[in-house]
Amino acid sequence: MNTRIYLEMIEESSRFIRKQTSLKPQMGIILGSGLSKATPELSQRREISYQDIPGFPKTHVAGHLGKLVFGEYRGRPIVLMQGRLHYYEGHDLSEVAFPLRVLKTLGVDSLIITAAVGALHTKLKPGQIVVIKDHLNLMGQNPLRGLISPEFGTMFPDLSNAYDPQMTKTALSICRKLKIRAQTGVYVAVSGPSYETPAEIRAFRKLGGDVVGMSVVPEVIAAAQMKIKTAALTWVSNMGSGLKGALLSHEEVLSLGEKVSGSIGKVLGELIAVH
């Protein structure tokens, strides 16, 4: 996409949103598959549909409502993305990163990403939380490609601490305090939308991966370029193909997401309060 046109679209979306709410969010939260009920109780709540925002890409996946929700939680202004954009929907990764660039212009400087993931080994179980500490980008694309402008940050961002170490440590500590089973792990990003083969699962495990999914990484890369502190809170929705107990359907993901929303919501609430 042409950089100038892209910048104009960001400004158009941002201008529209500012007219809908006076709230200036400091933290953004992306809610993944089936987690619409993990939304913290907000005061001064204001919802804006992606469909209504000029220039804003639209999501078409079940379990992703397609709304920006603004409000205050414990006095802190935040914005939630109820639904994300995916590469497998046909969006270019620059479109996947677009909402984050809009949120940055609105004032967001920290981010919590949530997502459903598949387990790459049997030590992980469905419903368990994995706080991401690093990733392998096997999507074959990068959201920074072709967009050269100082407004975005350096073209070559350092991803050594793309997952903010302090936020990651705090998220894990909160899970332990709440007696929610959790550990850190490495996220393997694939393009989707088909689930992985047993051979791919074995290969990802040998490469050092713990979980696999079709999102998160493009958002994290764009956030790192813009120096947005980021934590990624994922939950195991299924065992990877070829592993005992594997259930590979989007309906199963959404169903389990409903069940873990309460736990995820509690962790989100605590993490928002301290970051």
* Residues 177, 179, 183: CA angle, nearest 5 degrees: 90
Which of 6, 9, 27, 64 is flagged as catalytic?
64
Give the confidence band of 151 by pLDDT, cuts at 50, 70, 90: confident
Per-residue burial over 19-30, b = 16 or more CB atoms within 10 Å of its CB, e = otherwise: eebebebbbbbb
pLDDT of 251 reads 66
Q: Which of 270, 274, 264 is nearest to 31 (CA)?
A: 264
pLDDT band for 258, please (50, 70, 90 cuts). low
pLDDT tens digit sequence for 17-65: 999 999 999 999 998 866 767 778 899 999 999 999 998 987 765 545 6
CA-angle at 167, arms to 229 and 223, nearest 5°: 20
When divided into structural domains, the chain yields a total of: 1
- Any catalytic annotation for residue 119? no
Residue pair 98/152 in contact (Cβ under 8 Å)? The answer is no
Closest CA to 183 of 193, 169, 194: 169
In the residue annotation, 215 being an active-site residue is answered as: yes
Strand partners, 236: 117
List the CATH number of the domain containing 156.
Answer: 3.40.50.1580
Tens digits of residue pLDDT in 81-91? 988 888 888 88
Q: Is 33 a catalytic residue?
A: yes
Give the pLDDT mean for 102-120.
95
Considering only residues 260 and 208, tell me which one the structure prediction assigns the higher pLDDT.
208
Q: Is 199 tagged catalytic?
A: no
Pick the catalytic residue: 88, 151, 173, 241?
A: 88
Specify the pLDDT at position 255: 65
The residue range of the domain holding 188 is: 3-274
Quick one: pLDDT at residue 253?
A: 62
- pTM across the whole model: 0.92
Quick: pLDDT tens for 61-76. Answer: 554 568 999 999 988 9
**Active-site residue, 64 included:** yes
* pLDDT at residue number 248: 54
Burial letters 168-201, b for 16+ CB under 10 A, else e: bebbbebbeeeebebeebbbbbbebeebbeeebb
Mean pLDDT of the chain: 90
Q: What are phi and psi of 69, to 5 degrees?
A: -120, 115
Split at pLDDT 50, 70, 90, the class of 214 is very high
Q: Taking a C-beta distance cutoff of 8 angstroms, is the pair 104, 75 a contact?
A: no
User: What is the predicted pLDDT for the residue at 21?
Assistant: 94
